[in-house]
Amino acid sequence: MNKVNNILPKHIAIVMDGNGRWAERRNQSRMSGHEAGVKAVEKVIKAAIEKNIKVVTLFAFGIENWGRPAQEVKFLMRLFIKNLYNQSEEFVKNNIQLRVIGDRDRIDPKLQDKINQVQQLTAKNTGLTLIIAFNYSGRWDILQAVRCISQKVQNGEFTTEEISYQHIQDALCLSDLPEPDLFIRTSGELRISNFMLWQFAYTELYFTEVLWPDFDEVTLEEALRVFSLRQRRYGLTGKQIKKATVN
């Protein structure tokens, strides 16, 4: 067997898709699907800690999700704030550092305050770094990076010609963390949906039919197994990679 990459991913990024379909199959409201989705989040956090995964990023609310029915948007906002209140002690107890990425402008000030509070409370934690992408999109991330770089050019910090990949990298969210090694999307949809567009340049993609509320430690384990069989080549040949692994 071609088992070339038996290391664990340091960073897993997940699109938690299929809450609505999970609920509809049970003749329940979409909201109960999202509530069941929160339970899956808890299971995955626990499993990630047990597996010693360093960073998990969860796409909880995309900028495009504002277009959903107002009632669902309101529910998702409330669900997020409720969980920040309920989970903050658990984050502290489990040494989890919580970070929220995304455009804060449209977020309710009360929710912003709570986000800041939990981020501060957990900032020094050294275990799992849990990133919640909320009112986030990959294009927004690139846009805010471009604005930040333009400002630096205006300030005379460097010229347009001097702009490098590193400047872009540094201006993006999560620039201090390893890029995701593994992307997981549940529910059988085969898309990235405006998630971490820059950061996914060399991320291994894994898609599963499992609906998000059914995702658990067993399905995570399967994703990790598949990841462990991948050969990450970064533009090189398989032979070069094998040689580098042996040396």
Binding residues for ligand FPP restricted to 120-159, rule: CB under 6 A? 132
Task: State CA 156 to chain mean position distance.
Answer: 34
> From the list 83, 119, 144, 194, which residue makes contact with ligand FPP (rule: CB under 6 A)?
83
Tell me how many residues contact ligand FPP (CB under 6 A).
Answer: 20
Are 224 and 202 contacting, i.e. CB atoms less than 8 angstroms apart? Answer: no
Please give the Cα distance from 132 to 135 (Å, whole number).
Answer: 10
Q: Which residues contact 155 (CB under 8 A, 6 or more apart)?
A: none
Hey, what amino acid is at 33? G
Q: How far is CA 227 from the centre of its chain?
A: 17
Q: Where are the beta strands (DSSP E) in the chain?
A: 11-15, 55-62, 97-101, 129-136, 182-185, 204-207
Which residues have C-beta within 8 Å of that of residue 63, sequence separation ≥ 6? Answer: 102, 103, 135, 136, 137, 140, 194
Cα–Cα distance between 77 and 121 in angstroms, integer? 21
Residue from 4, 5, 10, 21 in contact with ligand FPP (CB under 6 A): 21
In the complex with ligand FPP, which residue's Cβ is closer, 9 or 37? 37
Amino acid at 185: R
Residue (49 or 163) nearer to ligand FPP, CB: 49
Q: Is 17 in the site for ligand FPP (CB under 6 A)?
A: yes
60 in Cβ contact with 132 (< 8 Å): yes
Query: What phi and psi values does residue 194 have, to the nearest 5 degrees?
Result: 60, 35
- Tell me which of 11, 14, 19, 102 binds ligand FPP, using CB under 6 A: 19
Q: Which of residues 177-236 bind ligand FPP (CB under 6 A)?
A: 187, 212
Q: How far is CA 130 from the centre of its chain?
A: 8
Least spacing, CB of residue 218 vs ligand FPP, in Å: 18
Q: Which one of the spans 31-39, 99-107, 202-210, 227-235 is the region binding ligand FPP (CB under 6 A)?
A: 31-39
Q: Identify which range of 12-20, 137-145, 150-158, 164-172 contacts ligand FPP by CB under 6 A.
A: 12-20
**102 is a site residue for ligand FPP (CB under 6 A):** no
Residues annotated as catalytic are: 17, 65
Which range binds ligand FPP by CB under 6 A, 79-87, 93-101, 108-116, 155-163? 79-87
Q: Which of 12, 13, 31, 41 binds ligand FPP (CB under 6 A)?
A: 41
Q: For residues 23 and 149, which CB has a smaller minimum distance to ligand FPP in the complex?
A: 23
Among 38, 111, 174, 224, binds ligand FPP (CB under 6 A): 38
Binding site residues, ligand FPP, CB under 6 A: 16-21, 34, 37-38, 41, 58, 60, 65, 76, 79-80, 83, 132, 187, 212
